Amino acid sequence: MRVTVVGSGYVGTTLAACLADAGHDVTAVDIDPGVVAALNDGHAAIHEPGLDDLLAEHAGERLRATTEYDGIPDADVTFLAIGTPSREDGSIDLGPLTAAAEMTGEALAEAGATTANADGDDRHLVVVKSTITPPAVGEIREALAAGAGDAADRVELATNPEFLREGTAVDDFQHPDKLVFGTDSDWATERLETLYEPLLAATDAEVPVVRTDPETAVMIKYANNAFLASKISLANDLGNVCKRFGLDAYEVMDAVGLDDRISAQFLRSGVGWGGSCFPKDVDAIRAAAREAGYEPALLDAAVAVNDGQPERMLELLDDHVDAAGERVAVLGLAFKPGTDDIRNSRAIPIIEGLQARGAEVVGYDPVATANTRERFPDVEYAESAAAALDGATAALVVTDWDEFAALDDAFDAMAEPVVIDGRRIVERREGLVYEGLTW
Ligand code: UDX
- ipTM of the modeled complex: 0.96
Question: How confident is residue 119, by pLDDT bands cut at 50, 70 and 90?
Answer: low
Pick from 173, 268, 336 the residue to mutate for probing ligand 1's pocket: most ligand atoms within 8 Å of its CB.
Answer: 336
pLDDT value for 116: 59
Q: What is the DSSP letter of 88?
A: T
Average pLDDT over residues 308-328: 98
pLDDT value for 117: 60
Q: Does ligand 1 come within 6 angstroms of the Cβ of 266? A: yes
Q: Does ligand 1 come within 6 angstroms of the Cβ of 164? A: yes
Cβ neighbours of 296 (radius 10 Å): 18
Return the bridge partners of 293, or none: none
Q: Does ligand 1 come within 6 angstroms of the Cβ of 332? A: no
pLDDT value for 47: 82
| pLDDT tens figures, 6-25 | 999 999 999 999 999 999 99
Same domain, 244 and 207: no
Distance 279 CA to ligand 1 centre (A): 10
pLDDT value for 271: 98
Same domain, 57 and 200: yes
* Rounded distance between C-alpha atoms, residue 128 and residue 143, angstroms: 12
| pLDDT tens figures, 254-305 | 999 999 999 999 999 999 999 999 999 999 999 999 999 999 999 999 999 9
Same domain, 146 and 279: no
* Rounded distance between C-alpha atoms, residue 157 and residue 215, angstroms: 11
Same domain, 70 and 154: yes
pLDDT exceeds 70 at position 157? yes
* Rounded distance between C-alpha atoms, residue 6 and residue 65, angstroms: 10
Average pLDDT over residues 426-439: 95
Same domain, 107 and 196: yes
* Rounded distance between C-alpha atoms, residue 85 and residue 97, angstroms: 10
Cβ neighbours of 150 (radius 10 Å): 9
Closest CA to 163 of 105, 211, 222: 222
Average model confidence (pLDDT) across the chain = 96
Same domain, 373 and 227: yes
In angstroms, the Cα distances linking 189 to 88, 127, 186, 435 are 36, 11, 5, 53
pLDDT exceeds 70 at position 113? no
The protein residue whose alpha carbon is closest to atom 28 in ligand 1 is: 266
Distance 273 CA to ligand 1 centre (A): 6
Catalytic residues: 277
Q: Does ligand 1 come within 6 angstroms of the Cβ of 166? A: yes
pLDDT value for 110: 87
Same domain, 233 and 139: no
Grouping H, G, I as helix, E, B as strand and the rest as coil, residue 430 is: coil
pLDDT exceeds 80 at position 112? no
Same domain, 199 and 72: yes
Domain CATH number, residue 56: 3.40.50.720
Using the 3D structure, point to which of 183, 212, 241 is the last residue of a domain.
212
The letter for the amino acid at 157 is L
The response to whether 270 counts as a known ligand-binding position is: yes
Same domain, 150 and 296: no
pLDDT value for 390: 98
Pick from 47, 132, 165 the residue to mutate for probing ligand 1's pocket: most ligand atoms within 8 Å of its CB.
Answer: 165
Specify the number of domains making up the chain: 2
Using the 3D structure, point to which of 154, 180, 212 is the last residue of a domain.
212
Average pLDDT over residues 374-378: 97
Q: Does ligand 1 come within 6 angstroms of the Cβ of 270? A: yes
Question: How confident is residue 233, by pLDDT bands cut at 50, 70 and 90?
Answer: very high
The protein residue whose alpha carbon is closest to atom 1 in ligand 1 is: 165
pLDDT value for 416: 96
Ligand 1 nearest atom to the CA of residue 164, by list position: 7
* Domain hosting residue 414, numbered range: 213-438
DSSP 76-103: SEEEE----PBPTTS-B--HHHHHHHHH
| pLDDT tens figures, 24-68 | 999 999 999 999 999 999 999 888 899 999 999 999 999 999 999
Q: Does ligand 1 come within 6 angstroms of the Cβ of 346? A: no
Using the 3D structure, point to which of 185, 212, 239 is the last residue of a domain.
212
Same domain, 239 and 350: yes
Same domain, 263 and 179: no
Same domain, 298 and 259: yes
pLDDT exceeds 90 at position 122? no
Q: Are 336 and 363 in contact (CB under 8 A)?
A: no
The response to whether 165 counts as a known ligand-binding position is: yes
pLDDT exceeds 80 at position 419? yes
* Rounded distance between C-alpha atoms, residue 5 and residue 11, angstroms: 10
The response to whether 164 counts as a known ligand-binding position is: yes
| pLDDT tens figures, 59-97 | 999 999 999 999 999 999 999 999 999 999 999 999 999
